[in-house]
Amino acid sequence: MTDYERIAAVIRYLDVHYIEQPGLDALAELVGLSPFHFHRLFVRWAGVTPREFLSCLTIADARVRLREGESVLTAALQTGLSGPGRLHDLAVRLEAASPGEIKAGGRGWTIVAGVGSTPFGPVRVGIAPRGFCHVAFLRGEDASDRETGTSAILDEWPQARVEWDDLEIQRRVGGFFARPNSHEPNLKLKAIVRGTHFQVQVWRALLRIPPGCFASYGVVALALGRPAAARAVGTAVGKNPLAWLVPCHRVIRDTGVLGGYRWGRERKAAMAAWEGAWRENDGERHEVADLEIATRRPIGS
């Protein structure tokens, strides 16, 4: 069993048994480790302690964050504010492929692809001349399957050429998950996606959800001026082609439940706890300043 599989098993267990508040000894026994080694492994993998993670899984905690999202987040989304807590978040410029680019299917492009390691397991990344075009978390056994990886990238850009360079991708991926440092500027990235006008609107709206916070499908729909389109928002979220860069892991059900995730619910829970811990420790200090200096722009820009 790999470290990722151990932590994923614990997250699945906590998702079902969080009400019982299982202790460190019980969780360590679940994956065959001593409490000391399990605690170190969990913190290294998830960025928070098991106890901190457990608190983030409770329904009450999710509902508190959802209620917060329906006030602060809605205002941030509707006005185009970068939102509170964005100081340490990725700054992603998301561009929609033009009809001509979609028709060409990436003809003439060389997409550099590779698999990198992250706190949430291996991730496959593709970088086109216009920016990141593919980011997908993998199961451990899929990490070395280049044939499947090439096919997944060519599904979106069938006329492109794919070159594999794991070292370059690992170098680029490292910045995504760097520990927050208030003395460093945001990591600025460019990305290009294929999608309908509505899908791209939704994906751009997700970029405005602050790290460590949640927004419901209904909140995102309201921010887009389409209050009856919550179901359509959910469909667009599920087709997000850029894991982590476009933070669909910050969208939850209207009831406050985390809900599903294209790349595994346990990953979504881990991401929520990882971001939430840093928001609690650091983000609140910057909230007012971020809101005051944020640039206003239309949500569909």
- Positions annotated as catalytic residues are 248
- 3-state secondary structure string, the chain? CCHHHHHHHHHHHHHHHHHHCCCHHHHHHHCCCCHHHHHHHHHHHHCCCHHHHHHHHCHHHHHHHHHHHHHHHHHHHHHCCCCCCHHHCCEEEEEECCHHHHHHCCCCCEEEEEEECCCCCCEEEEEECCEEEEEEECCHHHCCCHHHHHHHHHHHCCCCEEEECHHHHHHHHHCCCCCCCCCCCCCEEEEEECCCHHHHHHHHHHCCCCCCCCEEHHHHHHHCCCCCCHHHHHHHHHCCCECCCCCHHHEECCCCCCCCCCCCHHHHHHHHHHHHHHHHHCHHHHHHHHHHHCCCCCCCC
Cβ proximity of 107 and 159 under 8 Å: yes
Please choose, from the candidates 272, 270, 214, 213, the residue with its C-alpha nearest in 3D space to the C-alpha of residue 11: 270
